[in-house]
Amino acid sequence: MRAHSEFGKLISLFLKKASASFMNDAHISQHWEALNYLGKPDIAKALQEYDAFEQILKDHGAEILYLPTDDTVNMDSIYCRDAAIATSKGMIICNMGKEGRINEPAAQERAFEANGIPVLGVIAAPGTLEGGDVAWLDDKTLAVGHTYRTNEEGIRQLSALLAPLGVSVLPVEMPHYKGPSDVFHLMSVLSPVDSNLAVVYSPLIPIVFRNELIARGYEFVEVPDTEFDSMGCNVLALAPRVCLMVKGNPITKSRLEKAGCKVIEYNGEEISVKGGGGPTCLTRPIMRD
C-alpha cells in the first residue's frame, strides 16, 4: 500500500460528514456568505447527498475514518482534503491560505493522533499550503500549485519535509483567474485518474506544466468550458480509471468513458457545487493500493 498516489485503489480515507460540518440550518446561515459559497446549502438536501456519496465509498470497500464535530471549525471543513497531505511517513499538517479555515489543520491533527496516525511535519506561518494544491504525478513527484492559497514559503517547507523521502516537489505557477477570494487550486484544473491519464481544464493550466505532463506520458481527458464551473474537472479516482464525479457533466463523463474509464456519479449541488468542492475535496485519502 502507498500514500503517494492519486489513482491507486482507495484503501483508507478520512471524511467529514455534512452533519458534522454543515451541522444545521442556523450554522449554515451564519457562515455561507462569508465563506463565499455560491448559494446557501439546503441542509436536508445536503445530508441526503452526502449519505449517497458516502455509500459509494463504502460500496467500493474503502475503510472510512471520520473527522469529528469540532466547534473551532466551520462548514468548509467538509472539504477535508485541504488541511493535510498524506505521505508514506505520516501526515503533513497544512496551514490554510483561506482565513476562515485557519483552525482546520489543528483539528485534523488531533483526529490523526486519536487514530494513531503519525504526523511527519507541520507547515508553519508565514508559509501557507492547502491540500487541493497538491497532486501526486508518481510515487516520487508531487506537483504543487503556487496559488493565492499556497505560497512560496509553504512550498519551500513542503519540499524540505519531503526531500528525506526522496520526493521531488514540482511547483506550478497558477494564474490569477478570479482572484484571492475564489477557490482555485491546482486540482481545480487537474485530476490524475491513472498513471498516464488525467482529467484537465487546459485553458487554466500553465503551458510549462502541461508540457511536463505530456513529457511524462500523460494523455488528457479535456473538460469543456461549459463543464468547468459545474466541477467537471474535479474527479476522484477510486481505482485506476474508476472515476467518481459530480452529476451534470455529460461531456466529460463521455470522454472519460471513451478513454476506458468507469464513471460513477453523485448528486452534489449542495455539498459540492455551492461550496466549490468536488469529490477530491470531500475526501482525505490515506492509503491506496
pLDDT at 183: 83
200 pLDDT more than 80: yes
Q: Is residue 56 part of a domain?
A: yes
CA–CA dist 52, 47 (Å, integer): 9
Q: Cβ of 68: how many Cβ atoms within 10 Å?
A: 11
User: For residue 121, is it within any domain?
Assistant: yes
Q: Does 3 map to a domain? A: no
| 60 touches 238 (CB < 8 A) | yes
* Residues 249-276: tens digit of each pLDDT: 999 999 999 999 999 999 999 999 999 9
| Residue 5 included in any domain | no
* Residue 1: pLDDT band with limits 50, 70, 90: confident
The Cα 279–Cα 277 span in angstroms is 7
C-alpha 116/C-alpha 86 separation (Å) is 14
- Does 224 reside within a domain? yes
Asked if residue 4 belongs to a domain, the reply is no
Count of domains forming the chain? 1
Provide the domain limits for residue 224: 10-288
Average pLDDT on 216-239 reads 97
Residue 182: per-residue pLDDT? 85
* Domain CATH code at residue 153: 3.75.10.10
The closest alpha carbon to 90, from 124, 115, 68, belongs to 115
